[in-house]
Structure 1
Amino acid sequence: MAIRLKKLDQQVMVITGATSGIGLTTARMAAEKGARLVLAARDSNALDQLVAELRGQGREALAVPTDVGSRDEVTALGRAAVERFGRIDTWVNNAGVSIYGRHREVPLEDQRQLFQTNFWGVVHGSLTALELMKDKGGAIINLGSELSEVSVPLQGMYSASKHAVKGYTDSLRMEIEKDGVPISVTLIKPAGIDTLFTSHARNYMKNEPELPAPLYAPEVVADAILYAAEHPQRDIFAGGASKIFAMEGHTMPRMLDKVMNLLMFSQQQKPQPSAPDRSDALYQPNGQELQQRQGGRGKVFERSPYTWLTTRGKPLTWSLLAGGALLAAWKMSTPTAKKG
C-alpha cells in the first residue's frame, strides 16, 4: 500500500473544533500554507467570523456548524466538504472538552457528554473520512493527549476518553493497513498546551482549574498536525514533556501514581475559588471562541526540540540528539509542589 499525501497548498482539509485553541491555530496556519479548509464547530457565529477572516486574506474556507457528537451532523459535514471542493485530503478530529473533579462528584450525564464529544466525535469523524477518502487516499489525524498514555486524578473521564481515542486510532490504523487503503492514520499526543482548555472545562472542584507546567504554545501542536498531513506518521508527541510523561508511566507506573497523589491535586487548582456562575463548553459554546491562547500562565515554550527532531530530524542526527532533547524535556516536566 503506497500512501502519497499532497502538499498543503494542494489539499482540502477538514478541521473540527476549529474556533478555539489548537483547532483555530491549525486552521490559520493551514490557510497560510494554501490549504482549502472546511471548518467545523458548534458556534456558527464564530465560524462565520473565522471564515470571513480567512477569505479576507485570499484563502478558501467553508463554515459548517457541527456537533461532532452527532453522527448525522458529521456525515453532513463530510458531504458539505465534497460538494464544495470535490474531495477531502485530510480530516483532523480535534474537538474536545474536559471535566475537573473526583469521579464520585461528576454526574454520569456529564461524563457521557464528555465521551460523546471526545471519543464518539473521533469515531464519527474517522468513519466519515474513511468512507470519503478510501478511494483517493489521504490522512486521518486524531487528537489524543499525553493522557492517552497515563492518567491524572481530577481529570479521570478526560484521561479515559483519550485512552479510548488511542485504542480506537491504533485499531483503525491496523484495519486500514490490512485492507490496503491508502490512508495515513496519525495520533497526536500533546503535552499541556496554552489554550482555553481550562476555561472550556466543566469544574466540580472548589477552586478554578489549572494546567501544570510545562506548557507549550498551540503552534507546536498545529505544526505537528500539518506535518502529519503531508508525511505519514503513526503518532507524534507534541512537546517533549508528553514523551517523558509516557515513559515514566510505562517504566515506573506505581512511582508515578505516588507523584500524582503528592502533586496533582494541588497543581491542577488555582488559589482562587471557582465562581458560582462559571460557564463552560461541555454542552454548548460559552462565548470564548476565536482565541488561540489563554495567556497569563507563566512561561510557555514556543517550540519543542524533541518534536522537531522526531519529525524533521535526519535519522543519524535523531539517534544522537533525541536523548538530549528528552533530557531537556524531563527537566522542564519535573514538577515542583505548589500551594493550592
Structure 2
Amino acid sequence: MQIILKPIGVQVVVVFGASSGIGRITALEFAKRGAKVCVAARGEEGLKSLVAEIEASGGGAFYVVADAADFEQVQNVAEKTVERYGRLDTWIHSAAAFMFATVEQTEPAEYKRLFEVNLLGQIHGAKAALPHLKEKGGALIHLTSVEAWRGVPFQSAYVASKHGVHGFLQVLRVELKHEQIPVSVTEILPAAINTPIYDKGANKMPFKPRAVPPLYHPKVVADAIVFAAENPIDDLIAGGAGLGVVLAERFSPAVAGWFSEKIGFTAQKTDEASDGDYEGSLFEPVSGFDTIEGRFSDEQFSSDPYTYLKTNPKVTNTLLAAAGAVLGGVLLWRARKSEKLKNQKLKVDGLFKS
C-alpha cells in the first residue's frame, strides 16, 4: 500500500502541545507554508500569542485549550478542527511533561500524572485523530525522544513514558498497514533540544537541570516534522548526536549504560541552585515560558547536517552520486595505472629475453 500525503500548503494540521518549544515553532513553520493550523495545549496564554503571531504573518490558525491527559478534551480538538476546516490531514503530538528527580524522590502520583500526559496523551491523540484521518488518508506524527532508546539519570518517569510511546507506535503502525489504512505513523526522536522544558518541568534536585550537550535549536526538529508530513516515514532522529545514542543502545547496551552513568550525572547539572521542590507544569500550566528556545541559546547548534540530509533526499542522492563518481574515477584510474605498469613490465621482460 502506498500512502500519498498532501502538500503542506493545502493541509489541515493539528499541533498538540504548541504553546512553547518544538510545538510552537512547528505550528509557525506549517502556517508559514500555507497550512491551516489548530494549536492546542493547556496554557491559553501561550496559545493566544501563537495564533496572533501566525495571523500577523498572514497565516490561518485557531486554538483549543486542552489537556492531553483527558481523552474527551483531546477528542474535542479533533472535532473542532474538522468543524472549522472540514477535514484533518496531519496530527502532530508534541505535548509532554517533564520531571527531574531520582526514582526514590518521585512519588507514585507524579509518575501517574506524567504517564497520563506523555503516554496516555499520545494514545489519546492517535485515537482522536485516526477516525478523521482514515477517511482520506493522512499522517500521525508523534514526538518521543532518543531517550525512548536509552535513558539518563534523574528522568525515570520521562524515559519510561517515551519507551511506552515507542512501543505503542510500533504496534499501531503494523496494525494500520495490515488493514491497508492509508495513514502514516511517524516517530520523531529528538536529541537534546534547547526548549523551555528544563525550566517548565518539575525539579526535585538542589540545582537547575540542563540537557546533556550538544543541544540543537527546536527548528531542527520542526524540519523533521515538516518532512514527515509530506513523506511517509516510520521514524526520524532529529539531531545527529541522537543517532549515536540509538546506535550505541542497538549494538552495545552495556557501553550505552556505561556512558549514561559516567556522563549523565555531571552533564545535567548547572551551577544555578534550586530549592528542590519545584512542581513546574506537571499538574498545572506555568506562565513565562511561552517561547521557542530555552536558556541555552548561546550553545545550541542552529542546524544539523544529519537531519538536513535525512530530510533532503535529493541532496543526499546527489552527494552519493558524486561520491560514487569520484570513487569510480579513482578505481578506473588505478586500474589503468596498474594495466600500464603491467604492460611496461612485459616490455622490459621482453627486452631481457631477447
In the other structure, the counterpart of 2:160 is: 160
5+ unaligned residues in a row in structure 1: which ranges? 323-340
Which stretch shows the higher mean deviation, 212-221 or 252-261?
252-261
Question: 2-side partners of 1:289 and 1:89: how far apart?
Answer: 29
Check conservation: 1:186, 1:236, Cα contact below 8 A: yes
Q: Which structure: larger Rg?
A: 2
**1:171 lines up with 2:171 in the alignment:** yes
Check conservation: 2:194, 2:296, Cα contact below 8 A: no
In the other structure, the counterpart of 1:143 is: 143
In the other structure, the counterpart of 1:71 is: 71
In the other structure, the counterpart of 2:213 is: 213
Percent identity (aligned): 36
Query: What do the CA deviations read for 1:200-234 (whole angstroms, capped 9, x no partner)?
Result: 11111121111121000000000100110011111
5+ unaligned residues in a row in structure 2: which ranges? 324-354
Question: 2-side partners of 1:35 and 1:299: how far apart?
Answer: 32
Question: 2-side partners of 1:256 and 1:230: how far apart?
Answer: 33
**Amino acid across the alignment from 2:95:** A
The offset of 1:306, in angstroms, is 0.9
**Amino acid across the alignment from 1:81:** T
**Amino acid across the alignment from 2:252:** M
Which stretch shows the higher mean deviation, 295-304 or 37-46?
295-304
The offset of 1:317, in angstroms, is 4.9
Check conservation: 1:309, 1:318, Cα contact below 8 A: no
Question: What does residue range 7-18 of structure 1 map to in structure 2 within 5 Å?
Answer: 7-18=7-18
State the TM-score, normalized to the length of structure 2: 0.87
**1:250 lines up with 2:250 in the alignment:** yes
In the other structure, the counterpart of 2:343 is: none
State the TM-score, normalized to the length of structure 1: 0.91
With over 3 angstroms needed to count, the CA separation of the structure-2 counterparts of 1:319 and 1:112, relative to structure 1, is: farther
In the other structure, the counterpart of 1:283 is: 283
With over 3 angstroms needed to count, the CA separation of the structure-2 counterparts of 1:276 and 1:239, relative to structure 1, is: closer
Question: What does residue range 120-135 of structure 1 map to in structure 2 within 5 Å?
Answer: 120-135=120-135
Question: 2-side partners of 1:169 and 1:318: how far apart?
Answer: 32
The size of the alignment, in residue pairs, is 322
Check conservation: 1:135, 1:181, Cα contact below 8 A: no
TM-align CA RMSD: 1.7
Check conservation: 2:207, 2:276, Cα contact below 8 A: no
Question: 1-side partners of 2:53 and 2:239: how far apart?
Answer: 29
In the other structure, the counterpart of 1:331 is: none
Check conservation: 1:279, 1:286, Cα contact below 8 A: no
With over 3 angstroms needed to count, the CA separation of the structure-2 counterparts of 1:104 and 1:279, relative to structure 1, is: closer
With over 3 angstroms needed to count, the CA separation of the structure-2 counterparts of 1:86 and 1:42, relative to structure 1, is: same
**Amino acid across the alignment from 1:40:** A
The offset of 1:46, in angstroms, is 2.2
Question: 1-side partners of 2:28 and 2:7: how far apart?
Answer: 16
Check conservation: 1:310, 1:318, Cα contact below 8 A: no
Question: 1-side partners of 2:145 and 2:66: how far apart?
Answer: 22
